[in-house]
């Protein structure tokens, strides 16, 4: 397994930015992985994920999502929605943070739907929580990256975002 992750793109946020895009998905690898860690926000908000086409986030209402929401302070829940403009992770306060992994499939195949599976954990300022699930973009088009932004007009204060290609053995 050593050497199986090939770094494609990396963004390290040390001062506030409105969004982060990781680009470089092409036909080199079948599966790509995104890792985000120590992500903090400028105000209470939720981190969102969209796919990019030609480097631009696709904001159409063509994302379908299903996930399991694990909560430290109460029972887990199931969530599902169709025709979204993005996937939302949970809201956190300025004392909270996110960490997670996203696997990207079919991104470079223009005749298939692109989809992701994800696992994220976060501290919302009071409780530790996590989500595990998947999202599909119900448009057959090639996608070249993943875009992170916030739900409101706030900023991503800090964090590390890395895109890897998964090398076939």
Q: How high is the pLDDT of residue 169? A: 66
**What is the spatial distance between Cα 42 and Cα 95, in angstroms, rounded to a whole number?**
9
d(C-alpha 154, C-alpha 17), whole Å = 9
Looking at residue 2, its pLDDT comes to: 60
pLDDT at 114 exceeding the cut of 60: yes
Residues above pLDDT 90, as percent of the chain: 82
pLDDT average, residue stretch 127-154: 94
Per-residue burial over 65-78, b if 16 or more Cβ lie within 10 Å, else e, is: bebebeeeeeeeee
Estimate to the nearest angstrom the gap between the alpha carbon of 52 and the chain centroid: 12
User: What pLDDT does 125 receive?
Assistant: 84
Query: What is the structure's pLDDT at 88?
Result: 87
Q: In the numeric block, which tokens belong to residue 135?
A: 């999202």
**Predicted pLDDT of residue 90:** 79
Query: What average pLDDT score do residues 127-149 get?
Result: 95
Query: So where are the chain's domains?
Result: 9-166
| pLDDT at 145 (0 to 100) | 97
What CA–CA distance (Å, rounded) separates 147 from 140?
A: 18
Q: Which of these, 12, 14, 36, 41, lies nearest to 156 by C-alpha position?
A: 41
What digits encode the pLDDT tens for the residues 41-90? 999 999 999 999 999 999 999 999 999 999 888 889 999 999 999 998 87
133: pLDDT strictly greater than 80: yes
Question: Nearest-CA neighbor of 134 among 91, 102, 90, 98?
Answer: 102
Q: How confident is the model at residue 1 (pLDDT cuts 50, 70, 90)?
A: low
């Amino acid at each position: 397994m050593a050497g199986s992750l090939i770094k494609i793109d990396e963004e390290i946020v040390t001062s506030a930015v409105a969004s982060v895009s990781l680009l470089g998905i092409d036909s080199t690898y079948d599966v790509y992985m995104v890792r985000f860690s120590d992500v903090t926000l400028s105000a209470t908000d939720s981190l969102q994920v969209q796919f990019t086409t030609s480097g631009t986030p696709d904001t159409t209402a063509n994302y379908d999502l299903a996930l399991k929401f694990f909560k430290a302070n109460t029972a887990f829940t199931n969530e599902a929605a169709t025709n979204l403009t993005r996937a939302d992770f949970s809201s956190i306060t300025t004392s909270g943070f996110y960490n997670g992994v996203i696997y990207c499939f079919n991104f470079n195949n223009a005749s298939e739907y692109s989809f992701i599976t994800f696992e994220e954990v976060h501290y919302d300022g009071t409780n530790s929580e996590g989500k595990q699930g998947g999202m599909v973009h119900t448009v057959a088009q090639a996608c070249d990256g993943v875009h992170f932004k916030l739900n409101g007009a706030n900023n991503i204060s800090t964090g590390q975002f890395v895109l890897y290609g998964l090398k076939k053995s």
